[in-house]
């Protein structure tokens, strides 16, 4: 029976998520639960600056954006408009590369200096508006001092030239390697939430969304897959240059560059949206099956959530076990262990999850990492919406029941979705109780109002950032109801509330 199949798929997905949380496949680092928390909320970057002997220059941009879980992520005093990542990989087996990142930004205050986040590499030069600039490095913080002070509202260009192989980087929030990962035969990039700085200098917080250009040169026979539209491929003889343009605002952690040999599959949604899927060569044709209905998913979710927010979509399947998938903007990436060709419906749940993130997570970014349920709860519920679309409402109800049962039976493992901690950012509670929160809302307000809420929320916050309060305000505006208590119970109470009838 179909329902049973979905329940099995759900349990498999639960297992994957708990695997993400409990162990690590890539690097052999210790279980994160055995480590002390890496970020103490009270140790803000400002506090650190006050503790240090040097008095803080009042015109120095701050070294963090004040995120409540990760106060040191990102930097203050400027706003990036565009990153151009110009990367030449000299040796794919080590990812030895030379890179030039060019950033156009606007000062939001007078700046005597400002910071970027950047890990590893040797920096050979930094210029601001083509003038050499001084710089200092302290861990992940790269402090740049322009030769002349920048004025509030001034637009400026920073160029950072660097070389070396990306460092292995373990996320503060997940017990495995994030950022640029080199494997035997290629490399991939999965950065949520803090891996971006492992391959380019960046204002690494979703509050600073920007456009991206990728110009990546690799030796024959390798190919490159990055976000956005492939606008040009240049044959240089022994190497090829791939130019990708991501022409919609994008959070820094969603930027991805993947190097491998690929079989490329192209198709279109009914609405004419181009889809390009990248499969690592050598994978059997059967791995493509769960991706065949992405066009239908795009059409269906566009009806439910509003128009698809970008100009292209597609998936990339690695021939390596990652234990996860990630919703990189316009190009979701899957470890091969996320695909089960013998369980197409189950794998489609994961495909629908990543695809729906394009609206919830990518187009609408969190304003603070503590709002992560706005990404994961929505994407998890979208799997249920896909099940409802393919198998009917009874199948959705069955799926909801099994999630509710799992969460209720293991409540000590599931954090309330509205208050994750830094090292439990991707706790199963954020996913499953987050999805149940949306279902509870739907039962409370009815289908018509519920989908009106989702569409209004996306319409209002697309290309931008949102908070939980923003979402609640939309829900209350659309329905004219006071929904505070429902959200308080579902998002913050230790006990999981009963589902409304």
Q: Of the candidates 32, 107, 190, 396, which one interacts with ligand TRP according to CB under 6 A?
A: 190
Q: Answer yes or no whether residue 474 interacts with Zn ion by CB under 5 A.
A: no
Instruction: Give the closest residue to 349 by CA, choosing from 378, 379, 311, 319.
Output: 379
CB of 450 to Zn ion, least distance (A): 20
Q: Which is nearer to ligand TRP, 44 or 356 (CB)?
A: 356
Residues 6+ apart with CB under 8 A from 435: 377, 378, 380, 381, 383, 384, 403
Task: Please tell me the distance from the alpha carbon of residue 437 to that of residue 381, in angstroms, as a whole number.
Answer: 9
Q: Of the candidates 72, 117, 192, 362, which one interacts with ligand TRP according to CB under 6 A?
A: 192
Binds 358: which of Zn ion, ligand TRP, none (CB < 5-8 Å by kind): none
Peptide bond before 193: cis, by omega within 30 degrees of 0?
Answer: yes
Q: How many CA atoms lie within 13 A of 470 on its CB side?
A: 19
Asked if 425 contacts 19 with a C-beta cutoff of 8 angstroms, the reply is: no
Binding mask 315-344 for ligand TRP (x = CB under 6 A): ---------xxxx-----------------
Task: Please tell me the distance from the alpha carbon of residue 109 to that of residue 60, in angstroms, as a whole number.
Answer: 9
Residues 6+ apart with CB under 8 A from 8: 343, 346
Q: Answer yes or no whether residue 379 interacts with Zn ion by CB under 5 A.
A: yes
Q: Which is nearer to ligand TRP, 78 or 359 (CB)?
A: 359
CB atoms within 10 A of CB 195: 27
SS3 state at 428: helix
Q: Answer yes or no whether residue 257 interacts with ligand TRP by CB under 6 A.
A: no
Task: Please tell me the distance from the alpha carbon of residue 125 to that of residue 118, in angstroms, as a whole number.
Answer: 14
Q: Which is nearer to Zn ion, 317 or 379 (CB)?
A: 379
Binding mask 148-187 for ligand TRP (x = CB under 6 A): --------------------------x---x---------
Q: Give the C-alpha distances (Å, rounded to integers) separating 194 from 169, 172, 429, 436.
A: 9, 7, 21, 27
Q: Report 421-440 residues binding ligand TRP (CB under 6 A).
A: 426
CB of 147 to ligand TRP, least distance (A): 39
CB of 369 to ligand TRP, least distance (A): 11
For ligand TRP, the binding residues (CB under 6 A) are 174, 178, 190, 192, 324-327, 353-354, 376, 379, 426
For Zn ion, the binding residues (CB under 5 A) are 376, 379
């Amino acid at each position: 029976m179909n329902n049973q199949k979905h329940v099995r798929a759900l349990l498999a997905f639960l297992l994957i998520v708990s695997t993400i949380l409990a162990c690590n496949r890539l690097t052999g680092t210790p279980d994160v639960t055995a480590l002390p928390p890496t970020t103490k909320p009270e140790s803000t970057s400002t506090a650190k600056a006050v503790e240090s002997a040097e008095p803080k220059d009042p015109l120095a941009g701050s070294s963090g954006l004040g995120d409540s879980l990760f106060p040191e992520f990102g930097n203050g005093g400027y706003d990036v408009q565009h990153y151009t990542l110009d990367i030449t990989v000299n040796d794919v087996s080590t990812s030895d590369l030379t890179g030039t990142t060019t950033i156009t930004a606007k000062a939001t205050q007078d700046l005597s200096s400002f910071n970027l986040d950047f890990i590893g590499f040797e920096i050979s030069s930094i210029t601001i508006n083509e003038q050499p600039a001084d710089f200092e490095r302290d861990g992940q913080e790269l402090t740049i001092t322009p030769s002349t002070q920048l004025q509030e509202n001034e637009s400026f260009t920073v160029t950072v030239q660097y070389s070396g192989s990306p460092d292995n980087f373990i996320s503060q929030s997940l017990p495995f390697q994030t950022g640029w990962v080199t494997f035997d035969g290629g490399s991939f990039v999965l950065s949520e939430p803090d891996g971006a700085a492992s391959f380019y200098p960046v204002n690494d917080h979703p509050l600073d969304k920007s456009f991206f250009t990728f110009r990546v040169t690799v030796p024959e026979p390798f190919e490159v897959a990055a976000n956005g539209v492939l606008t040009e491929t240049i044959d240089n003889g022994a190497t090829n240059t791939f130019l990708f343009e991501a022409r919609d605002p994008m959070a820094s952690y969603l930027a991805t560059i993947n190097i491998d040999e690929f079989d490329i599959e192209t198709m279109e949604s009914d609405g004419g949206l181009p889809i390009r899927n990248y499969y690592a060569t050598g994978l059997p044709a059967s791995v493509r099956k769960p991706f065949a209905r992405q066009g239908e998913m795009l059409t269906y979710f566009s009806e439910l959530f509003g128009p698809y927010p970008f100009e292209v979509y597609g998936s990339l399947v690695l021939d390596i076990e990652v234990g996860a998938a990630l919703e990189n903007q316009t190009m979701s990436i899957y470890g091969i262990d996320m695909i089960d060709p013998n369980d197409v419906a189950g794998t489609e749940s994961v495909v629908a999850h990543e695809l729906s993130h394009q609206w919830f997570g990518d187009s609408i970014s969190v304003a603070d990492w503590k709002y992560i349920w706005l990404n994961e709860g929505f994407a998890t519920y979208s799997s249920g919406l896909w099940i409802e679309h393919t198998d009917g409402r009874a199948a959705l109800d069955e799926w909801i029941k099994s999630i509710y049962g799992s969460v209720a039976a293991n409540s000590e493992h599931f954090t309330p979705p509205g208050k994750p901690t830094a090292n439990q950012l991707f706790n199963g509670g954020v996913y499953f109780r987050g999805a149940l929160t949306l279902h509870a809302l739907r039962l409370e307000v009815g289908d018509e109002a519920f989908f009106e809420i989702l569409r209004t929320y996306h319409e209002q916050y697309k290309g931008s950032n949102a908070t939980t309060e923003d979402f609640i305000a939309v829900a209350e505006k659309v329905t004219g109801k006071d929904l505070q208590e429902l959200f308080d119970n579902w998002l913050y109470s230790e006990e999981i509330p009963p589902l409304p009838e």
